[in-house]
Structure 1
C-alpha cells in the first residue's frame, strides 16, 4: 500500500458515557469526509466512573457531586451538547431523570467485538444506546441487544459478559493508557505518536489529517 492510500491510524481512548467523546469522534468523522483522507480507528477503554454502583446515579446529581455543576449549568451544558450533536448528525436525548452508569461491561463488549472486526460498530451503537435512547449500558440485556444489532451473536455476547472473561483484558488496556499519561477523554493518538486531547473541532482534525498525509508523502 502506498503513502497515497495508507490510512492515518487514530487510536481513540474514550468512554461510552462521555458526551465529548461522541462529539470528538463525529467531528473527526466530518473531517475525514471533508478531506477525503482515510483513517484506521482503534478504540480503547477508559472509565470515567470505575467505582459507579451497579444501579447507577442520576446524571444531574452525579455531575453536581463530581464537578460541582449547578442545575442551570447542567441545563446549559446539555443544550450546548444537543446543538453540537445535531449539527454533526448525532442525537443527544437528555432528560432530567437520565442516569449515569458503570461502563466496565460495555468496554468488555467492545473488546470482544474487536476480535470480530466489529468494535467500531459496537462503539457507535453504545453511544446511541446511552445518549439517544437513554439505555442502561451496564445491563447485560442491553449490551447483548447492542451486539445483535451490530451483526454479532447476542447469546454469545451474553455468555461472554456473564463469564467476565474479558475483564482482565480491559483492566490491562486501561492501565496501559493511564500509564502513558491519558487522564481524560477523548484522547486521540494519531499515527501512534501525536496525542490530541478533547474534542478539537472539524477544522483542527482536518488540519491534523492533512499534515500527517503530507508527511506520509514526503
Structure 2
C-alpha cells in the first residue's frame, strides 16, 4: 500500500452514545499504531430519536425507562460504562448529564464537515455531553461550542434554526439502514469491512492492516466482515 494513500473509515455514531466516545478512543489508539494514514468521516445515527429536547429526569431514569430496567440495574450499568470510559482516559459525569434529542447536534457536525472541522466538533460535542454536563439540545449551547472551535456563531445559529443540514442527517441514517446498521458505534473500512462496537484497539489495528494489504493487492471489495461487541447498549 502506498503510505500516502489513506484508508477511509466511515463511522456511524451518536453524540448521546457512551460507547461511541469509548470506541473513538480505542480506534484512535489503533490508528496511532498503524503504519499508514487513516481518513475518518463521521455519520449520523440517532439511538433514541423520540427523546425530547428537555428530558425530565436523570440518566439513570432514562436508561431504566428506555431498557426496562430497575433503577439499581441502570445505575450499575452506568457505573460499569463509566469505569470503562476511565480506562481510556475519559471522565463521564452521568450526574451532570442532560439527556436530550441529538438531531441538532448531528446537523452541527454536518455544518462542521462542510468547513473541514468535523473531527474537532465531534470530539468537542462528545466531551461536552459526557464530561462537561452541557445541554446539547439547546441551540445556544451548540453555537457556543461551535464558536469555541472557531466557527461563526451567528451563522451556526442560522444553519441550525433553518434545518440546513437535516437532509444530510437523514441521508446518513438511510445509508446506515442500507448497510444493516442497527447499533453504534459502527466502523466501515473502505466499504469493505464493518466493525461493530467499541472493540479493543488490537481489533481495529488488525482490520486496518487487512484492508491495507487488500488495497495493495487490488482485492478490496464490498462491505463484508462484521465483528460484534457483547457490551450492552
Q: TM-score, normalised by structure 2?
A: 0.87
How big is each residue's C-alpha offset from its partner over 1:57-110, in whole Å with a ceiling of 9 and x where there is no partner? 432122111112333322332222222222222221221x63311001001100
Larger CA deviation: 152-161 vs 169-178:
169-178
**Alignment length, in residue pairs?**
216
Q: Which residue of 2 aligns with 1:84?
A: 84
Gapped runs of 5+ residues in structure 2? 218-233
Partners of 2:56 and 2:178 lie apart in 1 by: 28
Is the Cα–Cα contact under 8 Å of residues 135 and 142 in structure 1 kept in the other structure? yes
Q: Which has the higher contact order (CA 8 A, sep 6+)?
A: 1
- CA distance in structure 2 between the partners assigned to 1:90 and 1:83 by the alignment: 9
Q: Which residue of 2 aligns with 1:3?
A: 2
Partner in structure 1 of residue 23 of structure 2 = 24
Task: Quote the offset at 1:40 in angstroms.
Answer: 0.5
For 1:57 and 1:6, how far apart are their aligned partners in 2? 48
Q: Distance in 2 between matches of 1:121 and 1:159?
A: 20
User: What is the RMSD computed on CA atoms of the aligned residues?
Assistant: 1.6
Contact 2:97 2:129 in 1 (8 A): no
Name the CA distance, whole Å, in 2 between partners of 1:16 and 1:172. Answer: 17
Give the distance between the partners of 1:200 and 1:47, measured in 2 at CA. Answer: 20
Q: Which residue of 1 is the match for residue 185 of structure 2?
A: 186
2:53 counterpart of 1:54: yes
Superposition TM-score, scaled by structure 1 size: 0.92
- 3-state SS of paired residue (1:41): strand
Deviation at 1:175, TM superposition (A): 1.8
Q: Secondary structure at the match of 1:200?
A: coil
Match of 2:222 in 1: none
State the match for 1:67 in structure 2. 67
1:118 alignment partner in structure 2: 117
| In structure 2, distance between residues paired with 1:53 and 1:184 | 20
Q: Is the 8 A contact 1:105 1:161 kept in 2?
A: yes
Deviation string, structure 1 residues 119-154 (Cα, Å, up to 9, x no partner): 111111110010001111111011001111112111
Q: In the alignment, is the contact (CA less than 8 A) between 1:98 and 1:134 conserved in 2? A: yes
| Contact residue 140 and residue 157 of structure 2 kept, 8 A | yes
Is the contact between residue 113 and residue 122 of structure 1 (CA under 8 Å) also seen in structure 2?
yes
Moved more, 134-143 or 2-11: 2-11
Determine the C-alpha separation between the residues in 2 that align with 1:177 and 1:184. Answer: 9
Partner of 1:170: 169
